[in-house]
Amino acid sequence: MPRRLLHVDRLIVLGALCSVLAWWAPLRAQATTDVAVVVHPDVPVDNLTLGDLRRLVLGDREFWPGSVRITLLVRAPVAHERNVMLMNVCQMTEAQFRQHWIGKVFRADTAVAPKIVYSAEMAIEAVNRIAGAITLIDASQVSRNLKVVKIDGRLPGERGYVLR
Amino acid sequence: MPSNFGDRSALFAAGAAAVCLASPLSAAQHEPVSSLTSGNVAQVNQATPAVPENEYPSLHLSGFGDVNFLAQKRPEGSRGFSEGQFVLHLASALSPRTNFFGELSFTPRADAGTGTPAATGFNAEVERAIIRFDQSDHLKVSFGRYHTPINWWNTAFHHGQWLQTTISRPEMVQFGGRFIPVHFVGALAEGGFPAGGWNLNYQAGVGNGRGNVISRGGDAGDNNARPAWALNVFSKPDRAFGLQVGGSLYLDRISLAGRPEFSERIVAAHAVWQREDPEVIAEIANVRHEQVGGGPVASNLAYYIQTAYRPPSVGRLWKPYYRFEHIDIERTDAIFATVPNLDGSTIGVRYDISMYAAIKSEVRVRRRVSDQPRANGWFLQISFTF
């Protein structure tokens, strides 16, 4: 009987441990998941500074070198990529970002607002198809056929990478 | 002991259940929808169509509107409820490098209609109509009717009341005002350069300038042989994201019926901190008029400084603000003979009812002449975009 109790105790501890791990692991993964900046394969850029990316996401820069128009693909609200973009790149709230773009178009600074994508697959398909496109994708979704741009000389997963 | 064992069994069962429940739940929370199952991927792809390529022309229509309540002394303006401007904005990409922008306003006026006395109604106006060719970020050339790019407020908010924090514009750029030429008809070249993170931008224009009525541009042609020139240069440095500083120069020849011609030179500067914690907008402009062929020179000064603050977290929907503005007109200036002086304060609060609508309340205290009493007023506005 004492041996059986010991066995049950172990199972309880194991179960509790698994419960904690089951909750903690995805949260931990999300907290440290980097967001990659992905561009159309023909975009002649391998590295952007955070300032470059900010100007690009806020519409202050509209052309790549070679004068190809930039098409900005932005995830719909509540996506992790959008939150990282708002917090780390734009330093804005959702409301401020929307007001910024309404004002941008209203000032006649640009006639083309960002295109909204509703999933990583949609973003990947569009960024590979539309010339000059750029988007932000969860680094875990990045495959070999995507062109990932360095930010301040760093790729996702590297120490000091800012989009996480 | 058995009871103890029973408790442990319950604990074990709870733990096991937690493992079973927690894993898929947390995965569903944190994994992309597409990675759940291949079947779901197919469903997602069917439900969310691919992002379309850019099509031309691509017309985007938006608008702004506002409804106001005013309580002030009659000489300062109307009272009671009033409709604000109803503004329609059109933006259309005609090709990857060619864009058209249009702005139409419908403004309620007491004298817009016919008859004696004139009936009330709406005045329709083409505020802006611009066609622009984009060579690159460094050079964009456009033609049309603009808001003169020598004043930050005039080009940042245009007729979008919802975009600006306050109800009222600074008087130096008021609609129908005369201090700054609000509209400009002509051509504009603009662009920007990274400049090592300083992000220098320029706008250089030539056009018709002020018309026979100095508050209006020369829509149907220039009324003299001298075009107006406008130059605006500003910087938005990376190291101080949210900051914009710049200066402007505007040169024109003013021709009014039955009066000598005057040369006009406007020198202006602005500094803006666009983040909302806090928001600071400061502008100053000097307008100099000199009679052509020699004569009196008049120098007029106007400035304002506006501050606002959007509190964090729960208070984010509120945004209290204050603005002080000053206009000093030289009494010998024949062009600005009927432009009043001003020392005024505006204090108010904005509350964002939703992402696209706001209610604002403000008190304005104005003094036109130093030894005259102040004129106070209370204003309420609901403004929105659609």
Q: Do B8 and A9 touch (CB under 8 A)?
A: yes
B-chain residues near A22 (CB < 8 A): 18-19, 22-23, 26
Per-residue pLDDT of chain B (386 residues), as tens digits, is 334 444 444 444 444 444 333 333 333 333 332 332 233 333 444 455 688 888 899 999 999 999 999 998 766 777 899 999 999 999 999 999 999 999 999 999 888 877 888 888 899 999 999 999 999 999 999 999 999 999 999 999 989 999 999 999 999 999 888 999 999 999 999 999 999 999 999 999 999 989 888 888 888 888 898 999 999 999 999 999 999 999 999 999 999 888 899 999 999 999 999 989 999 999 999 999 999 988 889 999 999 999 999 998 888 999 999 999 999 999 999 999 999 999 999 999 999 999 999 999 999 999 998 778 888 999 999 999 99
Q: Which residue of B has its CA nearest to A101?
A: B163
Q: Which residue of A has its CA nearest to B87?
A: A106
Q: Do B91 and A126 touch (CB under 8 A)?
A: no
User: Quick check: A152 contacting B, CB < 8 Å?
Assistant: no
Kindly report the nearest CA distance between residue A107 and chain B, in angstroms: 6
Kindly report the nearest CA distance between residue B128 and chain A, in angstroms: 10
Q: Residue B8: what pLDDT? A: 46
Q: Is residue A15 part of a domain?
A: yes
Kindly report the nearest CA distance between residue A159 and chain B, in angstroms: 22
Q: Residue B4: what pLDDT? A: 44
Q: Residue B43: what pLDDT? A: 40
Q: Do B62 and A22 touch (CB under 8 A)?
A: no
Kindly report the nearest CA distance between residue B303 and chain A, in angstroms: 23
Global pTM?
A: 0.83
ipTM value > 0.90: no
Same domain, A48 and A78: yes
B-chain residues near A93 (CB < 8 A): 316
Kindly report the nearest CA distance between residue A126 and chain B, in angstroms: 6
A-chain residues near B385 (CB < 8 A): 102
Q: Residue B266: what pLDDT? A: 98
Kindly report the nearest CA distance between residue B132 and chain A, in angstroms: 9
Range of the domain at A2: 1-32
Same domain, A84 and A109: yes
Q: Is residue A164 part of a domain?
A: no
Same domain, A39 and A15: no
Q: Is residue A158 part of a domain?
A: no
The SS3 assignment for A56 reads: helix
**Count of the separate structural domains present in chain A:** 2
Q: Residue A22: what pLDDT? A: 53
Same domain, A24 and A70: no
Kindly report the nearest CA distance between residue B215 and chain A, in angstroms: 21
- pLDDT tens, residue by residue, A147-156: 999 999 999 9
The SS3 assignment for A150 reads: strand
Q: Is residue A160 part of a domain?
A: no
- pLDDT tens, residue by residue, B75-102: 677 789 999 999 999 999 999 999 999 9
Same domain, A84 and A144: yes
- pLDDT tens, residue by residue, A62-103: 999 998 999 999 999 999 999 999 999 999 999 999 999 999
Same domain, A43 and A26: no
Mutation choice for A interface testing from B4, B30, B89 by most A CBs within 10 A: B30
Same domain, A79 and A10: no
Of A12, A27, A106, the CB nearest to B160: A106
CATH code: domain B57-385 is 2.40.160.10
Same domain, A55 and A89: yes
Q: Residue B113: what pLDDT? A: 78
Show which of residues 92-111 on chain A sit within 8 Å of chain B, judged by CB atoms. 93-96, 98-99, 102-103, 105-108, 110-111
User: Quick check: A143 contacting B, CB < 8 Å?
Assistant: no
B-chain residues near A91 (CB < 8 A): 241-242, 275
Kindly report the nearest CA distance between residue A138 and chain B, in angstroms: 9
Q: Do A130 and B276 touch (CB under 8 A)?
A: no
Q: Residue B51: what pLDDT? A: 82
Mutation choice for B interface testing from A106, A115, A136, A143 by most B CBs within 10 A: A106
Q: HSE on the CB side for A53, CA within 13 Å? A: 28
Higher pLDDT, B85 or A11: B85
Q: Do B51 and A115 touch (CB under 8 A)?
A: yes
A-chain residues near B92 (CB < 8 A): 111
Q: Do A22 and B50 touch (CB under 8 A)?
A: no
| CATH number for position A42 | 3.40.190.10
Of B15, B135, B137, the CB nearest to A15: B15
Q: Is residue A25 part of a domain?
A: yes
Same domain, A25 and A82: no
Q: Is residue A4 part of a domain?
A: yes
Q: Do B136 and A71 touch (CB under 8 A)?
A: no
What amino acid occupies position B342?
A: L
Contacts (Cβ under 8 Å, ≥6 apart) of B117: B111
